[in-house]
A and B are shown apart, each in its own frame.
Chain A
Amino acid sequence: MAVIPGPSGVPVSRRLGKIALHVALIAGGLAMLFPFAWMLLTSFKGAHQMLNAPLDWLPNPWRAQNYPDAFGALPFAQAYWNSFYIAVLNVLLTLSTSAMAAYAFARIRFRGSGLLFGLFLATQMVPQQVTVVPLYLMLAELGWIDSHLALIVPGFVNPFAVFLLRQFIRAVPIELEEAARLDGANRWTIFWRVVLPNVRPGLGALGIIVFLASWNSFFFPLIFLNSPELATVPLLVSQFADQRGATDYGLTLAASAISVIPMMIAFLIGQRRILNSMAMSGLGGR
């Protein structure tokens, strides 16, 4: 290949290649952003503006009133609180119990350790819909249907979390643990004082993953909850779409924007950490 050096010394063909890559990536990026942009634009439109011919791309007039209207039409503030506190409890319960199990698998030698860990991993293949009917019947027996307990208590069982944290714990130098043991520390003290502080990045990453999964989950809230005041944010939005769907898209899209925007802001603030934790989870915590 003939290499023509460009002004900055980089071959022209290579620079053209880079530009082509950027063009393709930006085109893809626009495809990713368009649904969000269209949601935001539509959320400011009046009930009938979508029917105008020719199509109005921009709201005219801008109806900001859709937001307070959507917020007032259903108990959104309550749903926010519900989703938030359920997600926080899910994070705390999952992190604490799966870190304990992960420590046992990573650092304690006991009979059947490999087998038990294998079983933990195998249960990940069981789709949640396979156990949902019996789970529903069990929770009904306990009186937990139409209660947040149905989302909080079974939610902490998380073999993936155990797997991910085990990888992190195995990377903690064993010498730290041995030194603590010589000082007379028992397993619990070692776990609490030596191991946990050294796997903070792993706990942070997992916390974000669990929080997002809990905040966005829909299937279990749909099946386990009935009362409007117990609804989580996605449940409320889906009910809103069902009721108002075809009649007032402006209001429905405002409701959906209200549900999305706080997560977007949280993501933009913590993007580096969130993206790195997702990458780590995909690599199996290697």
Chain B
Amino acid sequence: MGVVTPARPAAKARPARAATRVRHRDGWWAALFLAPQVIGLLAFLVFPLGFAVVLAFMKWDGLGEKSWAGFDNFAAQLSDPDFGTAVWNTVKLAFLTVPVGLALALLIALALNQVKGKTFYRVVYFLPVVTSSVAVAVMWQIILASGDYGVLNRTVYDWFGIALPNWLEDPGWVIVSIAVVTIWSSLGLNVVIFLAGLQTIPPALMEAARIDGAGPIRVFRSVTLPMISPTVFFSTVVAVISSFQAFDQIYVLVNPDHNDGARTIVYQIYDLGFQNFEFGMSSAAALILLVLTLLVTLVQFGVQKRFVHYDS
């Protein structure tokens, strides 16, 4: 990722005073060009974020009196078994979706890189990505549902006489089911990104490794993987953040109101804020999610230095 801006070669030498004047005017131009996004960012992101911090220390239902609550909201959340379940489920979902989803995507991208007909396969694997998460959840409901409505359990029972678990209601399986649906719906995006990454590797590099006697696994470990490691890292960061934010498929596939097995932090925020109108409590849960997201992202950026290879 070209996040760090390399210094551009200094502008051609101009008489000093003219240069100062140009730069002075440039400040105004920069302000003009930046204004809409910066004002929007302040109004709709930075301000609400500050507001969330304030709310997290208040007791307020949106109508009655506001009062300071100190750390009560945080204490209440941290000792609430619902919140414990939510944190555990959020972490579990990330651990199930991210490694499996990315590994599968990488395998498929590696296979696609070897064969003809890439366009066809790319389109097929990408279809779920352009499908709305609500439609995805509705489609999977009639596959995973229990009883006569779920085609998976019915078919397995009819053909093999095996009774499969109740995927969407059994608290032990619900997060696994959500993970499967999430992987299915985001697989194509990662395949397309990884395939593009693979195609930027100069063929000469692979050829050189092969001539040196490296087998396919060695080529993968010593050439392919280092070359696409920035892409894999980028996708991992994005996948973890979006797994922490998963809501739509959970809400439609299994309503966590009726099934605590599917309660995640994001669902907890929604439930507290928009079903119970405990704005302070909801904001406290939201801040805990934010801290968790930042911590995990920071750890990833720390770890990447050892594993990610950047071309200078």
Contact = CB atoms under 8 A, between A and B. Distances in A.
B79 interface: no
Nearest to A178: B12
A251 to B, nearest CB: 11
For chain A, the bracket of interface size reads 35 or more
B286 A32 contact: no
Contact of A100 (B1, B34, B135, B283): B34
B38 A129 contact: no
A263 B37 contact: no
B27 A111 contact: yes
B133 A28 contact: no
B254 to A, nearest CB: 12
B49 interface: yes
B154 A55 contact: yes
Nearest to B134: A234
Interface stretch (B67-75, B204-212, B269-277): B269-277
A67 interface: no
Contact of A133 (B111, B136, B273, B289): B273
B44 A157 contact: yes
B37 A100 contact: yes
A29 B108 CA distance: 10
B112 to A, nearest CB: 7
Nearest to A127: B245
A42 B142 contact: yes
B130 A104 contact: no
B139 A278 contact: no
Contact of B192 (A35, A104, A127, A275): A275
Interface string B124-141: 111111111111101111
Interface string A248-270: 01001100100110011011100
A109 B30 CA distance: 8
A267 B123 CA distance: 9
Interface in B173-208: 184, 187-190, 192-193, 195-197, 200
A97 B40 contact: yes
Interface stretch (A2-10, A115-123, A198-206): A115-123
A161 to B, nearest CB: 9
A50 B231 CA distance: 44
A180 interface: no
B211 to A, nearest CB: 16
Contacts of B130: 212, 216, 263-264, 266-267, 274
Given A32-B128, A212-B130, A279 B195 contact: yes
A197 to B, nearest CB: 17
A76 interface: no
B95 interface: no
B224 interface: no
Given A137-B62, A259-B132, A125 B297 contact: yes
A25 B111 contact: yes
Contacts of B289: 127, 129-130
Nearest to A236: B134
Given A21-B111, A32-B184, A216 B132 contact: yes
Interface string A15-59: 000100110110011011111101100100000001101110000
Interface residues of B, number: 102
A86 B123 CA distance: 26
B125 A216 contact: no
Main secondary structure of the interface of B (DSSP, over half): helix
Contact of B140 (A35, A42, A111): A35
B312 interface: no
A237 B132 contact: yes
A108 B37 contact: no
Interface centre among A35, A174, A223 (most CB of B within 10 A): A35
A65 interface: no
Contact of A284 (B1, B136, B274): B1
B50 to A, nearest CB: 8
A271 B130 CA distance: 10
Contacts of B124: 29, 32-33
Interface in B83-117: 108, 111-112, 114-115, 117
Q: Kindly name the residue among B121, B130, B184, B266 whose own CB sees the greatest number of chain A CB atoms within 10 A.
A: B130
Interface string A210-230: 001001101100110000000
A121 B234 contact: no
Given A97-B40, A282-B190, 5 more contacts: A25-B121, A253-B139, A259-B134, A264-B131, A284-B1
Interface of B: 1-3, 5, 8, 23, 26-27, 29-34, 36-38, 40-41, 43-49, 51-52, 55, 62, 108, 111-112, 114-115, 117, 119, 121-136, 138-143, 148-149, 151, 154-155, 158, 184, 187-190, 192-193, 195-197, 200, 231, 234-235, 238, 241, 244-245, 247-248, 251-252, 266, 269-270, 273-274, 279, 282-283, 286-287, 289-290, 293-294, 297
The 3 A-B residue pairs whose C-beta atoms are closest, nearest first, are A282-B193, A279-B196, A134-B51
